[in-house]
Structure 1
Amino acid sequence: MDLLEHQGKRLFALAGLPVPPSRLAQTPEEAAAATDELGAPVAVKAQAKTGGRGKAGGIRICRSAQEAAAAAAAILAMTIRGKPVESVLVEQAVQVGREMYLAVVSSRALRGPMLVFAREGGVDVEELATRDPSAIVRSPIDPLLGLCDYQVRDVVAAAALDPEDPGAAETRAQLGQAVRSLWRLYHDRDATLAEVNPLVLTADGRILCLDSKVTIDDNALSRHPDLPSQPPEDEREAKARAAGLAFVPLSGDIGVIGNGAGLVMSTIDRIAAAGGSAADFCDIGGGARAAAIVAALEAVLAGPPVAAVLVNVFGGITRGDEVARGLIEALTAAHVDVPVVVRLDGNAAEEGRAVLDQAALPGVTVAESAERAVELVVAAARQASPGGAPATGAEQAAPTVSRRGGED
């Protein structure tokens, strides 16, 4: 679960990380009142789960309550990278002397947490990683040992603080404490990402977190009842989650249902390679019963219209006949009017194919292989989509609906 900036900063403060005073506002009037309370100047910052807020005009410095109200009105009307802005954070402005970057991230390559620090921060840290990789410190953290003192010293040394500065010793101590506190937050809150960009050194020698990006492991949310519950942004995702399924909306016109993330992702890649595009996908996981198949199909069909649906299941724990019965139940109840291609393999696959054959549902194609299933669903989607390109090659030879796609 991704947190908004103000939610992340609340966790920062609880973990001992220094953050500027701020107030959340949902109207221009609230923004003006917050400015009067905090004292101008303030930064009015869009609260949206996306990057690039500053470049999009979603962060503005205001020197009066009237300016803050006007800025809030403009920002609240924005949509940044497809994310509507529903609130703003009014934060006390500070004189920035220097910007840095600090994060603890879950590294897939290392299969564990990694400490990341850059002596330059702000919006161009990605450019810094390309321009000067040596300017970034990456230090793997042993999950059993936790953050070690030498790793904290490495970050402080990499910051290259001016030793002639009378306050350098205090600044180094503050920076070291910030590193320790960020690790504590990451560890104690079951985070997969805890990032500060920028981490600033103010003109008066303070270390402050001017932004927050925190992602909490969804599987650990039950251990953190104090975190705000955030319903999925997509109604279909909510339906799938309620059924214990994983759903991801995309932008194509072919719905995809499969069991296991690897199979689903490879199916999407196959569809793209064949000239199609997935509209969404639902992962029913292992051991899914008929009710899960019904929920998956409902979720896939609940959003923008899809041109065709591909169900690709390789049964290990999941039984093919259970999948078939769930499909029949869902297709019968929902009166689905788009082509559905089904590929069943593995555990009880033959029984599942027999169940589908016996049901003889109109519009359902049973394919003998994943390759054939992809060919059929892409051809069906092209035929169904207005202005769709005609099928070519192997797709022209494949009927939109057949009882056994692999035998035609």
Structure 2
Amino acid sequence: MDLFEYQARDLFAAHGVPVLDGGVAQTVDEAQAIAERLGGQVVVKAQVKTGGRGKAGGVKLADSPDAAAAAAEAILGMDIKGHTVHRVLVAEASDIAEEYYFSFLVDRANRTFLAMASREGGMEIERIAVERPEALAMVPIDPLAGVDAATARDIAAQGGFPAEILDDVSGVIVALWEVFTAEDATLVEVNPLVKTPDGGVLALDGKVTLDDNAGFRHPDHAALADTDAADPLEAAAKAKHLNYVKLDG
């Protein structure tokens, strides 16, 4: 099950990953209220499970609650690659000094877990892998040993992260490993992981994919399902704990 960005952000926060304050809105009034609570500049982001939001106009900066309301009005209902926007995330805006990439995922080909780290974040990881493979560190993870502070620091160093933030990045990596294992995820990705002008480290955007086969261990995950986009037959089958595969024809 792929999560929306705001859901991934909530999981990150619950496990100690540093994120910016914000809230999710389904209406213009809700977006304005969140912006009023946050104060200052905010970013209004379409919540869809696809890329290309920025290019489609689904990410807008707002300097006031009224501007946030106008941004939400423009984004809600928008179609982005066949996905209708039903919610927006209204979050604090952040100044960015540098952008990085980090993820944990299941490496099915090698039957293990994999950490991927790069100093070049903010773009699609597939593009980095093709255009600059030397800039992407791919580190196998021993599932039994896991990821402690020393392992996290080694991964960050292989990814080329600056020495002055290795300790902070290592702490984020350990927390992301906790998200990955505790929530039975098959993917935990932060892109970008950013360094702020004051030297802090933040998970600015994230993706999480949960293993549906582990749902019996996480009854709380059921509330994360996207009922707006669910196939009625698939939803009915899932309610009865059946596997449903739709075929053409």
TM-score, length basis structure 2? 0.92
2-structure distance, mates of 1:24, 1:239: 27
How far apart are 1:242 and its partner, in Å? 4.5
Please tell me whether residue 236 in structure 1 is matched to residue 233 in structure 2: yes
How do 1:3-402 residues align onto structure 2 when only pairs under 5 Å count?
Answer: 3-147=3-147, 149-158=149-158, 160=160, 168=164, 171-227=165-221, 228-230=223-225, 231=227, 233-242=230-239, 244-248=242-246, 256=247, 279=248, 309=249
Tell me if the contact between 1:190 and 1:216 (Cα under 8 Å) persists in the aligned partners: yes
2-structure distance, mates of 1:32, 1:70: 9
Larger radius of gyration: 1
Q: Cα RMSD (Å) of the superposition?
A: 1.8
Tell me if the contact between 2:153 and 2:166 (Cα under 8 Å) persists in the aligned partners: no
Tell me if the contact between 2:117 and 2:156 (Cα under 8 Å) persists in the aligned partners: no
2-structure distance, mates of 1:134, 1:239: 46
How far apart are 1:31 and its partner, in Å? 1.1
Give SS of 1:226's match: helix
How far apart are 1:92 and its partner, in Å? 0.2
1-structure distance, mates of 2:61, 2:147: 36
Structure 1 letter corresponding to 2:238: R
Give SS of 2:74's match: helix
2-structure distance, mates of 1:18, 1:149: 16
Tell me if the contact between 1:240 and 1:247 (Cα under 8 Å) persists in the aligned partners: no
How far apart are 1:161 and its partner, in Å? 5.0
CA distances 1:220-267 after superposition (whole Å, capped 9, x unpaired): 11212233252461113224434513224xxxxxxx4xxxxxxxxxxx
1-structure distance, mates of 2:154, 2:136: 11
Tell me if the contact between 1:100 and 1:199 (Cα under 8 Å) persists in the aligned partners: yes
Q: Give 5+ residue unaligned stretches, structure 1.
A: 249-255, 257-278, 280-308, 310-408
1-structure distance, mates of 2:133, 2:47: 30
How far apart are 1:21 and its partner, in Å? 0.4
Structure 1 letter corresponding to 2:176: L
Q: 1:6–1:162: structure 2 CA closer, same or farther, 3 Å change rule?
A: closer
Tell me if the contact between 1:110 and 1:140 (Cα under 8 Å) persists in the aligned partners: no
Q: 1:236–1:154: structure 2 CA closer, same or farther, 3 Å change rule?
A: same
Q: 1:80–1:229: structure 2 CA closer, same or farther, 3 Å change rule?
A: same
2-structure distance, mates of 1:142, 1:172: 21
Query: Percent same amino acid at aligned positions?
Result: 44
2-structure distance, mates of 1:119, 1:31: 33
Give SS of 1:186's match: helix
Give SS of 2:167's match: helix
2-structure distance, mates of 1:126, 1:97: 23
How far apart are 1:132 and its partner, in Å? 1.0
1-structure distance, mates of 2:161, 2:5: 28
Give SS of 1:247's match: coil
CA distances 1:45-85 after superposition (whole Å, capped 9, x unpaired): 11111122122111111111111111101110212121111
How far apart are 1:162 and its partner, in Å? 5.0
Tell me if the contact between 1:236 and 1:247 (Cα under 8 Å) persists in the aligned partners: no
2-structure distance, mates of 1:189, 1:160: 28
Q: Give 5+ residue unaligned stretches, structure 2.
A: none
2-structure distance, mates of 1:112, 1:57: 38
Structure 1 letter corresponding to 2:13: A
How far apart are 1:159 and its partner, in Å? 5.0
Q: 1:20–1:149: structure 2 CA closer, same or farther, 3 Å change rule?
A: closer
Q: Which has the higher contact order (CA 8 A, sep 6+)?
A: 2
Q: 1:152–1:78: structure 2 CA closer, same or farther, 3 Å change rule?
A: same
Give SS of 1:122's match: coil
1:267 aligned residue: none
2-structure distance, mates of 1:194, 1:229: 16
